[in-house]
Structure 1
Amino acid sequence: MTQASNHDINLPFPILIGDIGGTNARFALLIDAFAEPRPFPPVKTADFANIDEALQRCILDTTSVQPRSAILALAGPIEGDEVPLTNCPWVVRPREMIANLGFQDVLLVNDFEAQALAIASLPDGDREQIGPGVERPAASRAVLGPGTGLGVAGLVYARHSWIPVPGEGGHVDVGPRSERDYEIWPFLERIEGRVAGEELLSGRGIMNIYRAVSAADGADAPLSTPAEVTAQALAQDDRAAIETLSLFSTYLGRVAGDMAMIFMARGGVYLAGGISQKILPALRGPEFRAAFEDKAPHRALLGAIPTYVVTHPVAALVGLAAFARMPDRFGVATEGRHWKR
């Protein structure tokens, strides 16, 4: 059982593709390079002690066509033979998968690397543009998505290939700017003293903002889940929830604008994940785009960069399928991330 070279990326079909987040794992089977991915029912990570158990019970025991390879997108950095997920207790061990589950090849990528692969060729029907800006077809792009955590990745075009740039941009520091920010910032929950992007722009981030808004106003915070807060906000039924969603949109715009400048993303900045889709009515409002463009002295630059919400329900799987079919189209680094029997 060996690590494969960076150039050996034509994996044998059938290929199992998977997008594994902190809360949900989604899988599909790609029979060959011409077939459409065959999806499996979503898996709740909390329902299984480890990924091998989930794969055996939910995938391998339910299909007569057994995959020979697996390409798995993980929410966390990939280093070594044991890869823990950032917001989930699962630890992915490719060598054990090959030994125990029958795979010949296992390739691991970052979950937002998979999102970046998807936005390389996402059609207009699977995205909604928010605000002005014109896409430059071969220009760099960025994707970020609030969910269980905050994922961020870049996408650059070079040497006739789309090259995803994974990272941990969701953990950058975020600071207060407005008077209202300074009022609520003392009440925000932190990690070792830091307010990182993920502490604001995630499911728990919604609750963090909501509780801080309520505490700053000396009010109770009766809502207990992100879904309740966003539903009350979109229905205009709760003042603190309404402000929470407004601030969430503002902070998301600020971080998205930062990523646009880091990657010089003239090809667009894409908002992925379930939360972005659920709060789309709020993102259509003025807060997100105003914060995105408020980057003096580069307001004009940001004003020309388009922003989109990815509306495809499983965009990461689309990206993984595109890579599985035509790996030469993408500059995916596989060194240290590809295991072979």
Structure 2
Amino acid sequence: HVNLPVPSPQIYELHQFLTEHFGFASAEEVLSGRGLGHIYGFLAGLDPRQALPTSHHIMTHIHSDPHARKSVEIMLEVLGCVCGNLALTHLPFGGIYLVGGMAQVLADYYHDSAFHRAFVAKGRFAEFMDQFSVHLVQDDHAPLVGCIAHLQHHGHDKP
């Protein structure tokens, strides 16, 4: 639940909206399934204390509702910024792997989105950022397979 980064004026306004209604603007309040509803509520001028549209509803109406489309664009911008910050902090030269429900739901929207622009928008380090590859993990069982492999590698494969 780290602070929501503010890479653009519109995200600043979203930050203010979340702070006003929740007391704190976290990345989680934007990058989770409910976060997509928070972004939509911000754009549509809805009160977040009331029932907001679900991420499923928003994704279902993405081609017919301008607020839904813009909500996804904002989410991808914030995700790119957060991932870029983490890349500069941890230097994952082996790649960055996006996992989870929302990462998968957005699979068709990464191309030509604000994700990459926000990811590399690190001032004099912008060119440096291009060396980090970003991958989407679409196998829901990947974490379990990885845990099993780790345990087997360390001799924990016996009953």
2:64 maps to what in 1?
Answer: 237
1:215 maps to what in 2?
Answer: 45
Normalized per residue, the structure richer in strand is 1
User: In 1, are the aligned partners of 2:95 and 2:133 still within 8 Å (CA)?
Assistant: yes
Give the CA deviation at 1:273: 1.1
Give 1 or 2 for the bigger CA radius of gyration: 1
Give the CA deviation at 1:199: 1.1
Q: 1 CA distance for matches of 2:52 and 2:35?
A: 14
Q: Which 5+ residue runs of structure 1 have no aligned equivalent? A: 1-170, 329-341
Identity of aligned residues (%): 28
User: In 2, are the aligned partners of 1:190 and 1:199 still within 8 Å (CA)?
Assistant: no
Structure number with greater CO (CA < 8 Å, separation at least 6) is: 1
TM-score normalized with structure 2 length: 0.85
Q: 1 CA distance for matches of 2:128 and 2:122?
A: 9
1:198 maps to what in 2?
Answer: 28
CA deviation map 1:180-226 (0-9, x unaligned): 2233333226786321111111011111111011118xxxx996211
> Which residue identity does 2:58 align to in structure 1?
V
Q: 2 CA distance for matches of 1:175 and 1:323?
A: 34
User: In 1, are the aligned partners of 2:30 and 2:75 still within 8 Å (CA)?
Assistant: yes
Q: Which runs of 4+ in 1 moved over 6 A?
A: none
User: Cα 1:270–1:224, aligned 2, differ >3 Å: closer, same or farther?
Assistant: same
2:138 maps to what in 1?
Answer: 311
> Which residue identity does 2:6 align to in structure 1?
P
Give the CA deviation at 1:266: 1.4
1:227 has 2:56 as partner: yes
Secondary structure of the residue that 1:270 maps to in structure 2? strand
CA deviation map 1:235-277 (0-9, x unaligned): x111000000000000000000011111111111110012211
1:288 maps to what in 2?
Answer: 115
For the aligned residue pairs, the C-alpha RMSD in angstroms reads: 2.4
Normalized per residue, the structure richer in helix is 2
TM-score normalized with structure 1 length: 0.42
Q: 2 CA distance for matches of 1:262 and 1:312?
A: 26
